[in-house]
Amino acid sequence: MGQVEIYDTTLRDGTQAENFSLQLEDKLKIAQKLDELGVQYIEGGWPGSNPKDALFFKEIKRYPLKNTIIVAFGSTHHPKYTPEIDPNLNALLEARTEAITIFGKSWDLHVKDALKISLERNLEIIENSLRFLRPHVKKLFYDAEHFFDGFKDNPQYAIATLKKARDAGAHCIVLCDTNGGTLPFELAEIITQVKRAIPEIDFGIHAHNDAECAVANSLMAVHLGASQVQGTINGVGERCGNANLCSVIPALKLKMGLGCISDTQLARLTYISRYVTELLNLPHPSYLPYVGRSAFAHKGGVHVSAVQRNPRTYEHVPPEKVGNIRRILISDLSGKSTILSKAKEWGIDLESDAPKVQQILKELKKLESQGLQFDVAEESFKLRMYEAEGRLKRDNFFKLLTYRVQDYNTLEGRPVAEAEVWVEVKGAERHAISLGQGPVNALDKALRKALEEFYPYLREMTLMDYRVRVLPGTSGTEAKIRVLIESKDKDCVWHTVGVSHDILEASLNALMDSIMYKLFREDLKQREC
């Protein structure tokens, strides 16, 4: 099995993404997870650009990393300075990392218009910067910024910059598609010409995703001999992002047979992908290949039946290899095989020829025709399955007798919502009133206040997300509303749904399902004990 090195730049290039900001503690935590994943290099930041990155290089030395080398990033020296007095290059040395990466200009357009220097002076800057750094580090990498665009405009000059970097001692010359607009067939032709011009070159690839080709370009470069792939977790990065290492790594290992990380490390990929978004309090993209919640989700009845017989029929890799799971979705496309599969997954005893299966299927299609969507709110359907089986009787937990919600303004003109509920719990009636930031929040708080006396573990439960969608069919304010709620406790995350012409009723139904799911789970735990 061949080898290729993984170079992660989430902590530097990734932070240039919109809505993606890392504090020092976040960077230290992510670096440790990337070490667990087994990436060979972690680009920690640009110590010459801000104090936070400089502090990262100092703090990360306190952590015993097992698999990875920390890299400091910077640029070639300023045209006005020599390398010895350049602040940027000296900041790189002060970071005291085993590896350094610097970038320089490969596109004559940038040399003339951005640096405003001669083409020859730019070559001198590249060579002098690398020669100055080389004695101080074990590994020295050169990022040929805008290389592919530069090659298209002036191939001779672009190649000349690479030769200068090679001659100055760069261990690996990284070809950068900085604007992200190169297509795979263009990239292949350019790399082929580079290898003809510099046969002995050790090169890597750094691709951006502006043309949706970053992963494809990275894999194509490896196919053509690249020894290093740069990218970020979940593809975060400036504009449209960088090559997504959560797609690149499994493709290299499972499809191209390249030993970039171990099997055990690969099985942690989904966890680490989600850890990064969770740390930033961002939703994890469901449709990410390999690691997304929907990556191995099957909805159509024909697909479900085939996957149960042989997963290869509709899955390109086994989900467990990347730490993900197969999910069978409940929807109006479902057949009997879907219902039986979910029943088995949830521990519900149903025979394939039981009349109850057809009843459940009929009820499912009826509810979805009314606007409920169970493929994104499985727990609402799970409750209905348990009810059909007879294991769940909602009134045994609580029964909502009535509720009332009022909106009004304070004297300061601040809107306030007040919710009032009456519930019956274990033969007793309880009445609760709560104020909230809007009527749904007030309802949620009032329900909890009424129930927590009997079910104190409801305090562990947190509402994570609340989404409202107007359903097609009726226009304007008469339209039906679908509410999706995501809830969480210390053990898991679950999703519930409610539909009504009344947004409060839709919200209340979704909230009631969410609370009921928590109560039922806790009841099952107690019975098992």
CA distance 420 to 404: 5
**DSSP 8-state assignment for residue 244:** B
CA distance 416 to 414: 6
Give the Å distances, CA to CA, from 366 to 217, 319, 386, 473, 502: 46, 32, 18, 16, 19
| Mean pLDDT, each 10-residue run in order, the chain (529 residues) | 89 93 94 98 93 94 96 97 97 97 98 96 98 98 98 98 98 98 98 97 98 98 98 97 98 96 97 89 88 85 75 93 83 59 68 66 66 71 82 92 89 84 94 92 94 94 86 65 89 89 91 95 78
89, 43 Cβ separation under 8 angstroms: no
- In three-state secondary structure terms, 432 is strand
**DSSP 8-state assignment for residue 479:** S
pLDDT for residue 33: 96
Shared fold status for 5-261 and 394-528: no
Give the Å distances, CA to CA, from 52 to 8, 26, 31, 42, 390: 19, 11, 15, 16, 58
> Which two tokens mark 120?
């020859």
C-alpha 22 chain-centroid distance: 15
Other CB atoms within a 10 A radius of the CB of residue 177 amount to 29
Domain segments of the chain as ranges: 5-261, 297-386, 394-528
CA distance 304 to 313: 10
| Tens of pLDDT, residues 36-73 | 999 999 999 999 888 889 999 999 999 999 999 999 99
CA distance 57 to 238: 23
Beta bridge partners of 406: 418
Q: Where does residue 437 rank: exposed (0-12), middle (13-18), buried (19+ CB within 10 A)?
A: exposed
> Which two tokens mark 290?
């390999």
C-alpha 423 chain-centroid distance: 40
**Contact partners, residue 486, CB within 8 Å, separation at least 6:** 463, 464, 465, 466, 493, 494, 495
* Radius of gyration of the chain measured on its C-alpha atoms: 29
> Which two tokens mark 470?
């107007």
Beta bridge partners of 298: 328
pLDDT for residue 341: 67
Domain 5-261 top-level CATH class: alpha beta
CA distance 282 to 265: 24
Dihedral sign from CA coordinates of 328, 332, 338, 339:
positive
Give the Å distances, CA to CA, from 279 to 23, 27, 38, 58, 272: 10, 10, 20, 22, 10
CA distance 234 to 209: 12
pLDDT for residue 331: 56
pLDDT for residue 233: 98
Report DSSP letters for 195-234, one per residue.
HHHSTT--EEEEEB-TTS-HHHHHHHHHHTT-SEEEEBGG
Q: Find the helix or strand (DSSP H, E) in which 524 lies.
A: helix 503-528
> Which two tokens mark 122?
């730019």
CA distance 56 to 339: 51
CA distance 111 to 299: 53
C-alpha 133 chain-centroid distance: 35
CA distance 408 to 113: 59
Give the Å distances, CA to CA, from 342 to 10, 384, 491: 37, 12, 20
May I ask the CATH architecture of the domain 394-528?
Answer: 2-Layer Sandwich (3.30)
Give the Å distances, CA to CA, from 388 to 333, 348, 380, 497: 20, 10, 13, 18
Give the Å distances, CA to CA, from 503 to 276, 359, 415, 468: 34, 29, 18, 8
Note the helical H segments in 251-298: 263-266, 269-279
Which of 313, 282, 288, 100 minimizes the C-alpha distance to 209? 288
**Letter for the amino acid at 132?**
F
